[in-house]
């Protein structure tokens, strides 16, 4: 039943064709599961279909059917999955789809291809509205393409009306010159489709039941067929190989970038900025060249991201800056700074005004408000309180070869440069650690921990070694392995 009390003549079923192998992709992954802008091709098509609020959505599958079915959004209202049999062709696919609708269904049937991802809901709604106004048996969406190669061509009669569609493989030299192509998107009156489908044969170059033949059959019966030419031919581009996949992604990305720009985001270089469909970005944030924002990434307001940054499923707060960084499943707090050259692995949570600096890797680590890991560190499985500072090259030794252990660092802690924190270990609030320390025992709050032997200077050492072969800078002359030259010079001399 339709909206606004309009009954069956307004009801709609959408059929999505996704059974084909996609041979030209040359892929182990079924074609419709390849992604552009972070969503599978069929995911894009289903998103568009849902916007029309159809009563039924029939997806026809066959090749790698389990993988395709698993990727379908099960929450799609009215979803029906239909398995295509061994009879090949888009005509057969639609025949089986139609048979899966409730027996009395006599509304409109919109047919979409699982490999045409750029067609938007507005274009589809316009096609449907045109079809309903004209009361045609079928309405085609066509496009004028500079390169029509591979597409079915629209053959119009002397009166300018559509006569039939001829597939590329079956077209004569003259027909191949036709620039108007079939987009593979149609609306049919269910009854007309039901009458035409059983009459489609497979006597053609590909030995398949072509859905496109339904048009010629309806016209021969004297039924009216309408055609709408797409305003934007790029929207109807079908994806058959990986060249077309990349072209489609560039077009979609340009649309996404433009939408963010119009919503108040500064994007310096649209050509090198890649933003996936589900990403959100707050007003007055700035995206610098070479940035990829992926998955469920969200960026707050007035943040600066990039250059050369990839964020996947990452949350960035207002006023944060993230430069030359790779982050996945991380949370970056308000006004925090990250990079340049930082690697944030899953479970990294950086508090407000915190810092993860240059050549720093973090994983499964919470860094409290205002705490800093500024230089050359690995921090994993760690919790850091507020206002602490880790010295350059502080490393958590979280893995003993079998198990991972946690490090706990309190608030207002200062670790030294080149510290190894051997987990499990806990450093209390306000503690300080000396340079070069290897921390194997807990450090109580407020304590100073040192673990490096006191330094000894051997006076006049250089003068005594002057003239020795190779000099003191030679590794052989320096000392036997394991002994520093200055450590026990007198003993070494006497031996
Ligand atoms: C089809 C059209 C062509 C049109 C083009 C637009 C036919 C015969 N030709 O050609 O006129 O210009 O789309 O992109 O329809 N599929 C099935 N079952 C099958 C075969 C295909 O479900 O047995 C599905 C595919 O998975 C795909 C869609 O139908 O999603 C189109 O099939 P494809 O083989 O790509 O058709 P084209 O040769 O591109
Ligand atoms: Ca195709």
Question: For 8-34, what is the HEC assignment?
Answer: HHHCEEEEEEECCCCHHHCCCCCHHHC
Quick one: how far is CA 373 from the chain centroid? 29
Where are the extended beta strands (E) located within 145-206?
A: 153-156, 162-166, 180-189
From the candidates 63, 168, 375, 465, give the one annotated as an active-site residue.
Answer: 375
What is the pLDDT, as a whole number, of residue 473? 54
287 touches 305 (CB < 8 A)? yes
Among 64, 90, 213, which residue has the most ligand 1 atoms within 8 Å of its CB, making it the best to mutate?
90
How is residue 104 written in tokens?
């009395």
Burial, 5: exposed, middle or buried (Cβ in 10 Å; 0-12, 13-18, 19+)? exposed
What's the CA-to-centroid distance between 151 and ligand 1, angstroms? Answer: 9
3-class secondary structure, 97: helix
Q: Angle 172-178-183 (CA atoms, 0-180°, nearest 5)?
A: 110
DSSP codes joined into one string, 234-300: GGG----SHHHHHHHHHHHHHHHHHHHHHTT-EES-GGG-EE-TT-EE-TT-EE-TT-EEETT-EE-
- Ligand with an atom nearest the CA of residue 151: 1
Nearest Cα residue to atom 32 of ligand 1: 20
User: pLDDT tens digits for 215-245?
Assistant: 999 999 999 999 999 999 999 999 999 999 9
What is the pLDDT, as a whole number, of residue 21? 86
What's the CA-to-centroid distance between 22 and ligand 1, angstroms? Answer: 9
Nearest Cα residue to atom 1 of ligand 1: 184
What's the CA-to-centroid distance between 42 and ligand 1, angstroms? Answer: 13
CA distances from 119 to 241, 280, 374, 423 (A): 18, 22, 47, 54
- Is 44 labeled as catalytic in the residue annotation? no
> CB of 240 closer than 6 A to ligand 1?
yes
Instruction: Identify the segments of the chain with pLDDT beneath 50.
Output: 1-9, 474-495
45 touches 123 (CB < 8 A)? no
Please name the residues in contact with 443: beta carbons below 8 A apart, sequence gap of 6 or more: 425, 426, 427, 428, 431, 433, 449
DSSP 228: E
What is the pLDDT, as a whole number, of residue 467? 82
* Closest of 176, 153, 149 to residue 164, by C-alpha: 153
Can you tell me the distance from the alpha carbon of 357 to that of 180, in angstroms, rounded to the nearest whole number? 56
CA distances from 209 to 24, 31, 94, 147 (A): 20, 20, 10, 25
Please state the atom number of ligand 1 nearest to the C-alpha of residue 63: 26
422 touches 438 (CB < 8 A)? yes
Please name the residues in contact with 412: beta carbons below 8 A apart, sequence gap of 6 or more: 385, 386, 387, 388, 429, 430
Other Cβ atoms closer than 10 A to 343: 19
Percent helix, percent strand, percent coil in the chain, to nearest 5: 25, 30, 45
The alpha carbon dihedral of 485, 422, 326, 263 has a sign of negative
3-class secondary structure, 125: helix
> CB of 88 closer than 6 A to ligand 1?
yes
């Amino acid at each position: 039943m339709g909206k606004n009390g309009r009954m069956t003549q307004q009801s709609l079923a959408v059929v999505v064709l996704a059974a084909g192998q996609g041979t030209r992709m040359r892929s182990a992954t079924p074609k419709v599961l390849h992604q552009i802008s972070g969503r599978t091709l069929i995911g894009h098509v289903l998103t568009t279909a849902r916007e029309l609020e159809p009563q039924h959505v029939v997806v026809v599958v066959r090749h790698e059917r389990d993988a395709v079915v698993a990727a379908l959004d099960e929450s799609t209202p009215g979803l029906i999955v239909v398995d295509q049999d061994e009879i090949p062709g888009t005509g057969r696919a639609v025949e089986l789809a139609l048979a899966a609708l409730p027996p009395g269904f006599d509304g409109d049937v919109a047919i979409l291809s699982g490999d045409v991802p750029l067609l938007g809901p507005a274009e589809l709604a316009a096609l449907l509205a045109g079809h309903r106004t004209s009361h045609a048996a079928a309405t085609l969406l066509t496009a004028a393409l500079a390169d029509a190669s591979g597409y079915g061509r629209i053959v119009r009669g002397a009166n300018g009306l559509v006569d039939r569609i001829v597939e590329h493989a079956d077209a004569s030299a003259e027909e191949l010159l036709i620039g108007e192509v079939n987009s593979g998107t149609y609306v049919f009156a269910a009854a007309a489709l039901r009458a035409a489908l059983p009459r489609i044969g497979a006597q053609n170059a590909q030995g398949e039941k072509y859905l496109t033949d339904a048009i010629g059959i309806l016209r021969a019966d004297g039924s009216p067929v309408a055609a709408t030419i797409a305003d934007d031919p790029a929207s109807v581009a079908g994806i058959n190989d990986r060249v077309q996949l990349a072209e489609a992604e560039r077009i979609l990305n340009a649309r996404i970038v433009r939408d963010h720009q119009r919503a108040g985001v500064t994007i310096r270089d649209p050509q090198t900025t890649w933003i996936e469909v589900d990403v959100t970005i707050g007003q007055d944030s700035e995206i610098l060249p070479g940035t990829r924002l992926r998955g469920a990434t969200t960026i707050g307001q007035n943040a600066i991201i990039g250059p050369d940054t990839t964020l996947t499923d990452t949350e960035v707060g207002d006023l944060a800056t993230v430069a030359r960084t790779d982050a996945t499943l991380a949370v970056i707090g308000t006004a925090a700074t990250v990079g340049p050259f930082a690697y944030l692995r899953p479970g990294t949570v950086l508090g407000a005004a915190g810092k993860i600096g240059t050549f720093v890797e973090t994983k499964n680590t919470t860094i409290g408000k205002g705490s800093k890991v500024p230089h050359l560190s690995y921090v994993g499985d760690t919790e850091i309180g507020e206002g602490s500072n880790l010295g350059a090259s502080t490393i958590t030794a979280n893995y003993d070869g079998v198990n991972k252990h946690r490090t706990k660092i309190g608030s207002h802690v200062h670790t030294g440069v080149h510290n190894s924190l051997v987990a499990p270990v806990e450093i209390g609030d306000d503690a300080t650690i000396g340079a070069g320390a290897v921390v194997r025992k807990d450090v109580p709050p407020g304590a100073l921990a040192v673990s490096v032997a006191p330094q000894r200077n051997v006076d006049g050492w250089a003068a005594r070694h002057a003239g020795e072969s190779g000099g003191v800078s030679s590794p052989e002359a320096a000392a036997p392995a394991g002994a520093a030259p200055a450590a026990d010079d007198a003993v070494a001399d006497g031996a």
